[in-house]
Amino acid sequence: MNRLHEQGWLARFEDAGALLMAVRELRGRGYTQLEAYTPYPVEGLAQALGPMRNRIPLLVLLGGLAGGFGTLLLEWYASVIDYPINVGGRPNASWPAFIPAALEMTILFAAVFGIVGMFFANGLPRLHHPLFDVPCFEAASRDGFFVWLRADDPCFDPALAHDDLARLAPLAIDRVGP
């Protein structure tokens, strides 16, 4: 099983300024699959890493539409096709009566799709990540500034990527993954 998104090079830098400069330099060289790890938020780092594709809003919209229209269809089928009942001369497909349940199901399905999508997008549940095998990575929560150049980047070549990182004068460069 080939998991390129779990491989690559991890470089440690001395401070936030060096990390930010390294990320900008790597982005300038065409690398797009970069991840940065710092003990505190670094201003400008998110912009330097570039935009990330977020499909959660689309998933929430699709979940809401599926829940709402699915409920309307179910109510219409039950009232018109499966078991029509004449109550006070009202039409069988009385859509105003269908709205409250459809609204509730729209909200429920949108929330469930959003939560499940978030878990999948974050790769959860996951008990172990290949970065945990890098000896110095535990410093990322204390005083370490790291950039991970992932192997699933279109520009990634192991030797060239290592040389590109080495030119940025990191404190250490470690291989991530097998």
* Model confidence pLDDT, tens digit, residues 92-119: 888 888 999 999 999 999 999 999 999 9
Amino acid (one-letter) located at 6: E
pLDDT at 149 over 90: yes
Burial of 6 (0-12, 13-18, 19+ CB in 10 A): middle
Cα angle vertex 128, ends 20, 126, to 5°? 95
Q: What is the pLDDT of residues 22-79, one digit of tens each?
A: 999 999 999 999 999 999 999 999 999 988 888 999 999 999 999 999 999 999 999 9
What pTM value is reported for the model?
A: 0.72
- The dihedrals phi and psi of 119, each to the nearest 5 degrees, come to -60, -45
